[in-house]
Amino acid sequence: MTDAKRVETMKAVRKLMLALATTLTLTAHAQHDPGTPAAVAAKVALRGDANGVRIPEMRVVRRNDILMVQADLANIGNTDRTIFYRFRWLDNIGSQVGDGESWKQMSLLGQAQQTVKSVAPSSVVTDFRLEMNVESR
Amino acid sequence: MSRLITSALLLCATLGLSACETLSSPVVRLDRQVNYGDAKSVELVTNEFGSTDLQMIAEKMVGSLLETGIFQGRPTVTISTVKNKTSEYIDTTNVMNSIQTTLVKSGKVRFVRSITEMQQGVDELQRQNQSGLYKQTSTAKIGKMTAAKYTLEGELTSIVKQNASTKDVFYKFTLKMIDVEEGSIEWQDEKEIRKTSKR
């Protein structure tokens, strides 16, 4: 192989390695859908990829001294998705309140939106996280 | 250069392998002979009434009760009958125990002994007052129990449909809170669950 060809090959391999390393890094972390606002994403503990499911809005209200949360889940793809979700309730210092909710399974049709809601188990709850994972098929 | 190509190929292989790994979902599964599973996982063993249904019903009912604000002033409540109108054997006291536990922990309501629990309370009072073994100043006095202002009554029904390939079971749990004195229904809610399986 001539020197020029060797240099070209090395450049191509370096580019490939850089691209692969970048992709590997990105896939290692859970990816929120770009349509999920940052403020909402901060309250979502997503396991794995969003797989086309975004959370365009979350509504939090304190009524009768109890925190209530509603989250809209939107499937922007055409494939139906199976979602597992639950809410985790936290007090003012971030400690979990209660033993935790059970996981719920939900089917979200392609191009559909559904609202999930939950009510905190006691008045000491001041914060929450929505834990969820979206099956890829 | 061959070292560079080898590294590139190794990176490709790693990426390929990591792309094949899919995240597991929180579903009951058996990896070895005996396993401690997650009590909060979704149970998909059969389409009969299961732990996940119990948990979903309890959480929905408790959430609905707490958000209405009906428990202003910490009223007293007791559990009445919860009928199982399905064709399965389901211990409905399990569901009511879960609801009662969460409500008691919320501190918003006071539960008093239910009809099924009364005998134990009466036995204890009689033991303290009539056995002659206890100091009178330390015994719980008879006739001082607090009566329930509300009772919780409910029922669980199901609709089962099946064809050659599919079995669909639809459960509906209805819970009511009734004012004992007035007989009025002050709160009511229901939880619907559909479970579908291949035959």
- Measured between beta carbons, the chain B residues lying within 8 angstroms of A116 are none
- For chain A, the average pLDDT equals 88
Provide, as residue numbers in chain B, all residues whose Cβ is less than 8 Å from the Cβ of A10. Answer: 1, 4
Asked if A35 reaches chain B (Cβ–Cβ under 8 Å), the answer is: no
| Nearest chain B Cα distance for residue A91, angstroms | 13
- Digit-coded pLDDT (tens) for B85-144: 999 999 999 999 999 999 999 999 999 999 999 999 999 999 999 999 999 999 999 999
Residue A24 has pLDDT above 90, yes or no: no
Domain ranges of chain B: 49-112+147-199, 114-143
Q: In this predicted model, what pLDDT tens digit does every residue of B61-73 receive, in sequence order? A: 999 999 998 998 9
Work out the number of other CB atoms within 10 angstroms of the CB of residue B24. Answer: 11
Which of B1, B52, B107 is the closest to A122 by Cβ?
A: B107
Phi, psi of B191 (to 5 degrees): -125, 125
pLDDT, residue B29, reads 73
Q: What's chain A's length in residues? A: 137
Give the three-class secondary structure for A103.
coil
Chain A residues with CB-CB distance to B22 below 8 A? 48, 136
What ipTM was assigned to the predicted interfaces of this complex? 0.81
pLDDT above 50: residue A105: yes
Averaged over B18-32, what is the pLDDT?
71
Q: Per-residue pLDDT tens for B161-171?
A: 999 999 999 99
pLDDT of residue A26: 47
DSSP letter at A101 equals P
pTM for the model stands at 0.81
Q: What is the mean pLDDT of chain B?
A: 89
Confidence of residue B34 (pLDDT cuts 50, 70, 90): confident
pLDDT category at A86 given cuts 50, 70, 90 is very high
Dmax (CA) of chain B: 97
A104 touches chain B (CB under 8 A): yes
Which of the following CATH numbers is that of domain B49-112+147-199: 2.40.10.10, 3.40.50.10610, 3.40.50.300, 3.10.105.10? 3.40.50.10610
- Reference B122, options B148, B101, B140, B149; nearest CA is B140
Partners of B5 on chain A (C-beta within 8 Å) are 13
Tell me the chain B residues in contact with residue A24 when contact means C-beta distances shorter than 8 Å: 11, 14-15, 18
Please give the residue of chain A at the shortest CA–CA distance from B73: A64
Alpha-carbon torsion, ordered B108, B112, B116, B119, to 10 deg? 160
Residue contact B40–A17, C-beta within 8 A: no
The domain defined by A32-134 folds into Immunoglobulin-like (2.60.40)
Query: Per-domain residue ranges for chain A?
Result: 1-30, 32-134
Interface A-B, measured as beta-carbon pairs within 8 A, has a size of: 100
